Structure formats: C-alpha cells, structure tokens
Structure 1
Amino acid sequence: MIQHKLIEACRENDRRAQLKLYNKYCEGMYYVALRFMNDTMEAEDAMQEAFIKAFQKLHQFNGEVSFGAWLKRIVINKCRDKLKAKKLELISINEQVLGTVDEQEDWQVDEGIGVDEVKCKIENLPEKYKYPLMLYLIEGYDHEEIGEILNITQVASRTLVHRGKKKLQDELKTLRNGTGY
C-alpha cells in the first residue's frame, strides 16, 4: 500500500515522491535499457527519457499490472524508438511465406556454458533475431507480448525466436567446440 501512496503523490507532481520512485526502479530499468542499447550512455539516456514519459503518463497507470512491469514496457519502447532513430529497423516477416513454427521446448545448452556467454552470443546475432530472443529468453515475455512490443505478429515472433534459438545454439556449439572442449 505504501507504493500506491507514492504513485498517488507522484501523480500530484510531488518531486520528492518522484525521486523516491525513480531511486526504487532506476537501477533495474537501466539494466533493461542496457541490454537493448549496448552502450552505457545511450542506455542511461533511454532510461531517463522513459522515466520522464512515465511521470507524464502516470495518470494512465491503472494498476492492472505492477508498476515495475508498466515502467519496463515504457523503457523497452523508448529503447526501440531510439534504435529506430539510428536506422536499426527490424525486418518484417511475411506470414504467408513462413507459416507457423512449432517451438522446441527441449532446447538445451551445454552444461559448461554460462549466462554471460549466452548473453554475449545473443548480442552477436542479427538484429532481427536478437531483440525477440532477448525479450523471450532474458525478459520472459510471451509471443503475444513480444508481438505488441516489436509491432509484429505472434507468428513472426515465434518464427524469429525459433530461428534465433537455432542460430544461438549453433554459435554456442561453435564456442564450445572452438575452445577445445
């Protein structure tokens, strides 16, 4: 209930309340932005701009989801906007050509490969696979949410995640085999 009072105070433009809310979420939202922007300064800019937008749109927050989830979506959308401005557009997929892809639920990675290695390999994937895969594997979004965030269909999300997983798995096999294990 304390957070509810804090949000209400922020709605009334209480600067101290806004600072408290910012301090509570800034670190987590910075790391979300950093996963997209790959540059500390750009990630910080995206996070700051997302907070400004969140405070401006706080009247739209209705509590259906947690404040953190609502803010995270704003951060991700701000990162996407910044990437689009840099001409890093995602490739649209033609549903009729691709069709539906069944997901591999038994997808596994060698035991000796760590999270940092996986994240590093995701960073090296083509843009069209990188963001859907990050949202799916790291952020935990489902295909409907990924579709909304990236403005693509659920079928396209499934396809991009599936193909991204295959590419990632190949990269991780190369990593393991290339290092003499």
Structure 2
Amino acid sequence: MFQVDIIEQCKQNNRKAQLQLYNQYCDGMYIVAKRFLKDANDAEDVVQEAFIKAFSKLHQYKAEVTFGAWLKRIVVNKSIDFLKSKKQQLVELNEVHMKVVDAPKDDKWLVDDAITLDDVKLAIKKLPDKYQYVVMLYLIEGYDHQEIAEILNISEVASRTQLSRGKVKLQELLTIKSHGTRY
C-alpha cells in the first residue's frame, strides 16, 4: 500500500490505516520530542498529542512536503508548547545530533578546542528560552529562519536576531574566564 493511499484512507477515518501510519512514524517522532523534553513519558505524551492533532487536521495536509516533515513540525510545536507550559529546561543534546561540529570554518559557531560537548550542552541549557528555542531549531533540527518563524510565530527578522544573540550569548558562556572557569 502506498503512503498516499494510506493517508487518503486515514482521511476517511480508517483505523487500520491510521495505526499503520502511526507505527511507521512513532519512533522517529519520539526521538524528535525527546530532544526537547527531559522526561520520556512527557515525550510519549507529546507524540500522542501530535498524532491526534495530525489525524484531526489531516484534511489540511496538501503533500507539499513529505508527511514525515509535516508531522515533525507538529511534534516540534507540541514540544515547545509543552516546554512553555511547564517552564522546563531543554534536555541534554545527543552527540549525534550536534551540528556545531559541522559548522563552516568561517562561521561564528566555532569554539576553543578545550571546550567539550558537555560544555556546549550546559551552555545551551543556560540560554534564555527565546534564544534556546531558536538555537535548538536551527542547529539541532536544521530548520531555516522561515520555518523557525512559522513554528515560533515570530518574524524571520526576529528569528535571525534571536539566533545571532543566542550565538553571542553561547560564545560568552563558552569563553574560558581569566581565572580558568567557565560560566
């Protein structure tokens, strides 16, 4: 059965097709939610809510992007909404998902070699929420400013500004102070 056929059947409330689509995407969407949330149960709840929303809004899916990309955006939005409602800190980042190491040589993301991945994780956690979300979406999830603007309901200019300020703040947090400690 082709994915388009499954989606069409899901639009008609075919429970078997919905279960098939859920099984196909649930693990990947859980990983996305877990990047944002500390607790595994919270991530599972967010994924469940995202699927409920996706199935209820499936008529709005126009196949301009893959279903997975469309669903991922719902999961990211639900995760951010959850964090905002609970005022929780963002979770520790998995080394595999860190794109800081993939930054171009002329990019301002480069940091001193003495800085460890744990230092970067800790510094991102210390960023104010508005910078933290943009940095996470840009670096970890790979969204561009237009997508970040849509997800966070801000302008593209605000996304760029918050990312730029987040970079500066992150660099400040990662700078080795004269007495040999980091913030």
TM range (shorter): 0.7 to 0.9
Shift of 1:111: 4.7
Q: Distance in 1 between matches of 2:125 and 2:160?
A: 19
Distance 1:174 1:15, change over 3 A: farther
Distance 1:119 1:28, change over 3 A: farther
Distance 1:25 1:63, change over 3 A: same
Q: Which moved more, 1:139-148 or 1:78-87?
A: 78-87
Shift of 1:20: 1.8
Match of 1:42 in 2: 42
Post-superposition CA distance 1:80-112 (Å, at most 9, x none): 332343367xxxxxxxxxxxxxxx834313456
Is there any run of 5+ residues in structure 1 with no aligned partner, and where?
89-103
Do the aligned residues in 1 keep the contact of 2:125 with 2:132 (CA within 8 Å)?
yes
Shift of 1:160: 0.8
Match of 1:93 in 2: none
Which residue, out of 157, 171, 174, partners 1:172? 174
Match of 2:67 in 1: 67
Do the aligned residues in 1 keep the contact of 2:130 with 2:162 (CA within 8 Å)?
yes
Q: Distance in 2 between matches of 1:20 and 1:111?
A: 46
Is there any run of 5+ residues in structure 2 with no aligned partner, and where?
89-105
Distance 1:157 1:9, change over 3 A: same
With structure 1 as the length reference, what TM-score do the two structures score? 0.77
Shift of 1:18: 1.4
Match of 1:76 in 2: 76
Do the aligned residues in 2 keep the contact of 1:36 with 1:131 (CA within 8 Å)?
no
Do the aligned residues in 1 keep the contact of 2:108 with 2:167 (CA within 8 Å)?
no
Do the aligned residues in 2 keep the contact of 1:10 with 1:17 (CA within 8 Å)?
yes
Distance 1:169 1:161, change over 3 A: same
Match of 1:108 in 2: 110
Q: Distance in 2 between matches of 1:20 and 1:116?
A: 38
Do the aligned residues in 1 keep the contact of 2:77 with 2:151 (CA within 8 Å)?
yes
Distance 1:11 1:163, change over 3 A: same
Post-superposition CA distance 1:127-158 (Å, at most 9, x none): 12100110111111111211111111111111
Match of 1:56 in 2: 56
Which residue, out of 159, 162, 167, partners 1:160? 162
With structure 2 as the length reference, what TM-score do the two structures score? 0.76
Shift of 1:31: 2.0
Task: In structure 1, give the amino acid aligned to 2:107.
Answer: E
Aligned length: 163
Shift of 1:115: 5.3
Q: Which moved more, 1:122-131 or 1:107-116?
A: 107-116
Matched-pair identity in %: 60
